[in-house]
Structure 1
């Protein structure tokens, strides 16, 4: 009888352990597969430092240094020149920046400029699995400047996939809500998490950001720091935002105080990809 009682007592003590051990193992495995990734968004003003605007100086090295110092894995760039007269007919700024930072590049043209191209780009430390270019809508007769969206897909360590995008919305107030709605439509693709960086030409309490907030989560919504102008900044128009918050967690967000290289200050955010 005593043996039976001891045996049953042992079973009752062992049973919870059998449930706890697999649970702990599963938790440890999940933590092991979490990946952190750092994202930079930067309007680079075609690599023309504002203090050198009159001379027309192009300083690609200065932009590359900002990117390298940020230790970003992914970079969303705006106002990128390719083979233009002002930046050099033989210069592809996206490719040159990729070379200087040891990253992969994808450029999307939005307008013709000085015999070359002008637009947006993304840089990635991860190989680019696929890429896509999209035009954003404008109201007919608005006099706006053509705008676009550059999107890439990458695969992180552990096999997780991520979509990353760069955009630059128009200055015209009539076009920005149309473009925001199109961004939401284009970047809604099911299970894959999405991170979007860009110059949205819109302050946080604007209609445009309100539209985007319905679908995206910004990496910072409080005291985030201003991004423009580069000296004595007084407003925020550059953002990093994301979809699938259950798969992405913001670890940090900051504005980089770099007043020389461009007329915008770059922003950097770090994520945990779950």
Structure 2
């Protein structure tokens, strides 16, 4: 009899434990964070005589392995880069990425501007221009914008390149015009490019009124130009609005010091 009652007690205990577990509230699985790796790279396409070989530039991109790349100084069927033809398309082929080129101006028998490369699905491609102050003159600049998606998160990615003259008036105009352009964007945006402006400049102050800097605490101090003797920070990654992304890593890749006169800048952002 003792053994029988002991067995009943064990069965009852197991039953009560099972019933208790059934009444426990469900445990939420932690939400997996979605991140995107972006890169900006001025590829020195405006050098005299053009780019000798695209393969080293493509190898830098492959080694970084970004989701998105912003390219500046990009030629399309110019005489100086005649052997490469459409450089954005060729780099897309060499890296296995989709591409989009935005023309800033006609130049040297072809076109010159900015481009983007993407491993992410591209939903839309758009091009815009940034003008100069008429009294100062200079080169019209371009904005290459794509709309992409990653795991159902939709956002824009932009490549641009501000004026290079020592007089800052064109960059100030382009910064103001670009902010006004971005205010009409329907989706969050990550902007990457060669802004030809140092962190303390009025140009960057204008951009920071609307955009957040991708570098830690907004403090971009690591030099990006020139690779031969780096002394300036002029290449950046920015984003808007503030709550759309969370920067987690921001690096200037100084190991790529032969392929261009600019170091590539790479950022990883969590998509909120």
The TM-score bracket by the shorter chain reads: 0.7 to 0.9
Structure 1 counterpart SS, 2:155? strand
- The aligned residue for residue 7 of structure 1 is none
Q: Name 1:194's counterpart in structure 2.
A: 189
- Structure of greater Rg: 2
Distance 1:190 1:92, change over 3 A: closer
**Worse-matched range after superposition: 167-176 or 62-71:** 167-176
Rounded to whole Å, the distance in 2 between the matches of 1:44 and 1:240 is 16
Deviation >6 Å, runs of 4+: none
Check 1:191–1:145 CA distance in 2 against 1; reply closer, same or farther (3 A cut). Answer: closer
TM-score, normalising length from structure 1? 0.84
Contact 2:121 2:150 in 1 (8 A): no
Counterpart in 1 of 2:249? 252
Offset of residue 192 of structure 1: 2.3
How far 1:45 moved relative to its partner? 0.7
Kindly provide the CA deviation profile for residues 102-126 of structure 1, in whole angstroms up to 9, marking residues without a partner as x. Answer: 0000001112121111110010001
* Corresponding residue for residue 237 of structure 2: 240
Aligned position for 2:15: none
CA contact (8 A) 2:84 2:90 kept: no
Answer yes or no: is 1:65 the counterpart of 2:63.
Answer: no
CA contact (8 A) 2:128 2:144 kept: yes
For 2:38, the equivalent position in structure 1 comes to 39
Check if 1:182 corresponds to 2:182. no
Q: Which blocks of at least 5 consecutive residues in structure 1 are unaligned? A: 1-12
Distance change >3 Å, CA 96–CA 190, structure 1 → 2:
closer
**What is the TM-score with the length of structure 2 in the denominator?**
0.85
Q: CA RMSD in A?
A: 2.2
- Structure 2 residue ranges without an equivalent (≥5): 1-19
Number of equivalent positions: 247
Shift of residue 71, structure 1, vs aligned partner: 1.0
Pair 1:116 & 2:114 matched: no
Q: Is 2:99 the partner of 1:105? A: yes
